[in-house]
Amino acid sequence: MPALTEPKLITGNSNKPLANSIARRMSMHRGMNVGLVDARVERFNDAEIFVEVFENVRGEDMFIIQSTSKPANDHLMELLIMADALQRSSAGRITAVIPYFGYARQDRRTKARTPISAKLVANMLTRAGIERVLTMDLHAAQIQGFFDIPVDNLYAAPIFALDIQHHFGDMDDVMIISPDVGGVARARELAKRINAPLAIVDKRREKPGEVAEMTVIGDVTGKRCIIVDDLCDTAGTLCKAAEVLMDAGATEVHSYITHGVMSGPAVERVTNSVMKSLVITDTIEPTQAILDCPNIRVVPTAPVFAQGILNIWNGTSVSSLFETETLVPIYEGFYSKG
């Protein structure tokens, strides 16, 4: 049954441009102004976070837009405190829209005496009063099972499929590449959408963050290769994989990465790499260095998040947004034919 109240959006400090873009898209869909709830999310002198909501939210369907990106702990605490403020203000339902879910890489115990931090974060979000989560490209699908509340995990693959079809033209020589064995399912999903073959770069790590050896599984000779992954942190592995592919006979290497964490020397590495382009989404607010980089391009996620929020509010299917065909009208204007 459709909700009687209008959806209301509130945001922290992690990605205000994306929150504003989502609000604008929802305004277009609703034919009426959908703004961000007036609130302040700030810090005391000792960096303690304080939240104050200036509007009445009693009984409202609230959506908190907040990525838990760098600084992850600050943005996570903002999200938790905003949820607590809304719950104590008698909000009707609180949905956390988390475009980038931090701590997702800690989804299992890799060795003795280590935590499963993704589960801990899930517990904290639930205890803070959040009743539903909307996110994109979780690092591991099983994280949805860490929650005892509904979790809608959107996919960047249909957006990437639209972008590739728009920018690459003839697809005969395009090949999708998984940068490791663990990412094969994600890469295969995109390959099926654009009807392209698949190859794998098998990597062996000596220790976290350092790759000892890479081998290409599959023939990439004469192919325009597209590396697909969920996140890029320091870009060391990504740039090394591009070199290995070029050495194996690829004509060009491009990368499509959902979450551009881009820590430390990442932008410099991409700028100096053999990659022709790196495409990321705006789930994490891009820095000025990223925006200025000539071979990095940012594609918007506001259209799909806006539609996802409206579908949750209306009680309609969110899984319909998994299909490329569904996103064509949503992204009209971004990827117009001709």
Q: Binding residue per annotation — 229?
A: yes
Residue 276 annotated to the active site:
no
Phi, psi for residue 106 in degrees, rounded to 5:
-100, 65
Q: Binding residue per annotation — 221?
A: no
Strands of 252-260's sheet in order across = 210-217, 198-207, 174-178, 224-232, 252-260, 277-281, 296-299
Cβ contact 236:244 at 8 Å: no
- Closest to 258 in 3D by CA, of 166, 183, 147, 337: 183
Q: Binding residue per annotation — 288?
A: no
Q: Binding residue per annotation — 5?
A: no
Tokens read off for 1: 């049954």
Cβ contact 125:79 at 8 Å: yes
- Of the residues 192, 203, 207, 276, which is catalytic? 203
Tokens read off for 158: 């249909």
Q: Binding residue per annotation — 105?
A: yes
Q: Binding residue per annotation — 106?
A: yes
Q: How far is the C-alpha of 157 from the C-alpha of 321, rounded, in Å?
A: 11
Q: Binding residue per annotation — 141?
A: no
Q: Binding residue per annotation — 47?
A: yes
Q: Binding residue per annotation — 237?
A: yes
Specify the 3-state DSSP secondary structure of 50.
strand
Q: Which amino acid is at 258?
A: T
Beta strands in 44-197 (DSSP E): 49-53, 61-65, 93-98, 132-136, 151-154, 174-178
Q: Binding residue per annotation — 233?
A: yes
Q: Positive or negative CA dihedral for 307, 137, 67, 131? A: positive
107 Cβ contact partners less than 8 Å away, ≥ 6 residues apart:
116, 118, 119, 139, 140, 142, 143, 146
Q: Which residues are annotated as a binding site?
A: 46-48, 105-106, 139, 180, 205, 229, 233-237
Q: Which residues are annotated as a binding site for D-ribose 5-phosphate?
A: 205, 229, 233-237
- Active site (catalytic) residues: 203
Q: Which residues are annotated as a binding site for Mg(2+)?
A: 139, 180
